[in-house]
Amino acid sequence: MATSSLTFSTSLPKFCRPYSISITSPPQVSVYSKKLDSSISSALKISRRRTARASSMASSGITTIDQNNKKVVEVLYTEEDLAVSLAKYTSDLSDKFAKERGAFTVVVSGGSLIKSLRKLVEAPYVDSIDWSKWHVFWVDERVVPKDHPDSNYKLALDGFLSKVPIPPGNVYAINDALSAEGAADAYETCLKHLVHTGVINLSSLSGFPKFDLMLVGMGPDGHVASLFPGHPLLKENQKWVAHITDSPKPPPERITFTLPVINSSAYIALVVCGAGKASVVQTALGTNQNSEVFSCSNGFT
């Protein structure tokens, strides 16, 4: 394995308050943070949660805590460590919200995230989690048939959902018979109905839906959900769900949660694997001279 020195400095405004980590070429890197701000390519593994919960994460790797802003930066050395850590973290939150409100609303993305959730379908989690309380949503989706190889629903179904007893009625896929605009409008209507019935909380601060846990990944260009660096959708602050027909990455037609919705979640985990994304991680954290291309005025807050 090649060895190199990687330094991550959390210097973006309000994104990660000043601290830095210097490590030797970890194959997997994860960062946890209380809030996301100013950068669409936030990178690594970022989660809203009380810092006291840091003990629930994997013991391997490097952990740095910002007590003032309740942000945790965690560096894990292998994808296996990440999967173990993510399973523990997700299971703890599932138990917390199932007991507190009788439901656990989870938003997932596509890509490598689903693979990183694999420990949840193994003991002890597959038998200890109350799956009947789970309600599953997608932070973004490609407007393709549900059985299409590009479908995030199919990816999640094959790799995760088919292996756990979540009630089918609690899994909210898009209507793939509609256009991108129609599918986005229908998904937002569904979310508003679930807010009305109490399945999803509404943020008293932002007025947007407040999901219990947002699990998202990051693309090699730094995009999150289907919100791409420099795209006008980054500035959308009214809609809950938007559509895109000119995605820089195929397929071009997609729907996506907007930044205010992502940011209103109770807990957020942005999960990114691989040393190959070190450059975009450094850009996201403000240590790269190209940081400006990823920032937006209406970013995570």
Q: What is the pLDDT of residues 18-41, one digit of tens each?
A: 222 222 333 344 444 334 333 333
- The DSSP output letter for 171 is B
Token pair for 296: 């937006």
Q: Which stretch of 132-141, 226-235, 254-263, 274-283 has the lowest confidence by average pLDDT?
A: 274-283
Give residue 78's Cα distance to chain centre: 19
- The DSSP output letter for 170 is G
pTM above 0.85, yes or no: no
Q: Is residue 299 part of a domain?
A: no
Could you tell me the CA-to-CA distances from 232 to 56, 221, 228 in Å, in that order?
A: 38, 16, 9
From the list 12, 1, 32, 16, the residue with the least C-alpha distance to 272 is 32
Domain limits for position 121 = 5-43+52-67+77-294
Q: Is residue 301 part of a domain?
A: no
Token pair for 234: 């980054």
pLDDT in tens, 235-275: 999 999 999 999 999 999 999 999 999 999 999 988 888 77
- The model's confidence at residue 71, banded by pLDDT at 50, 70 and 90, is low
Number of Cβ within a 10 Å radius of residue 123: 8
Cα gap 246→252, rounded to integer Å? 5
Q: Is residue 57 part of a domain?
A: yes
Q: Is residue 149 part of a domain?
A: yes
Token pair for 273: 């694997």
- φ, ψ of residue 141 in degrees (nearest 5): -150, 145
Q: Is residue 72 part of a domain?
A: no
- φ, ψ of residue 113 in degrees (nearest 5): -55, -45
Cα gap 217→240, rounded to integer Å? 19
Stronger pLDDT, 173 or 42, i.e. the higher one: 173
- Residue 60: CATH number of its domain: 3.40.50.1360
Number of Cβ within a 10 Å radius of residue 25: 14
Token pair for 212: 């219990």
Query: Which ranges constitute the DSSP H helices of 50-199?
Result: 79-101, 113-116, 125-128, 152-159, 180-196
Find the distance separating the first CA and the last CA of the chain, reported in whole Å: 37
- The DSSP output letter for 22 is E
Token pair for 222: 């730094």
Q: If you average pLDDT over residues 132-159, what whole number do you get?
A: 98
Cα gap 290→282, rounded to integer Å? 9
Q: Is residue 300 part of a domain?
A: no
Q: Is the pLDDT of residue 48 over 90?
A: no
pLDDT above 90 covers what percent of the chain?
59
Domains of the chain: total: 1
Q: Is residue 60 part of a domain?
A: yes
Cα gap 247→72, rounded to integer Å? 32
- The model's confidence at residue 155, banded by pLDDT at 50, 70 and 90, is very high
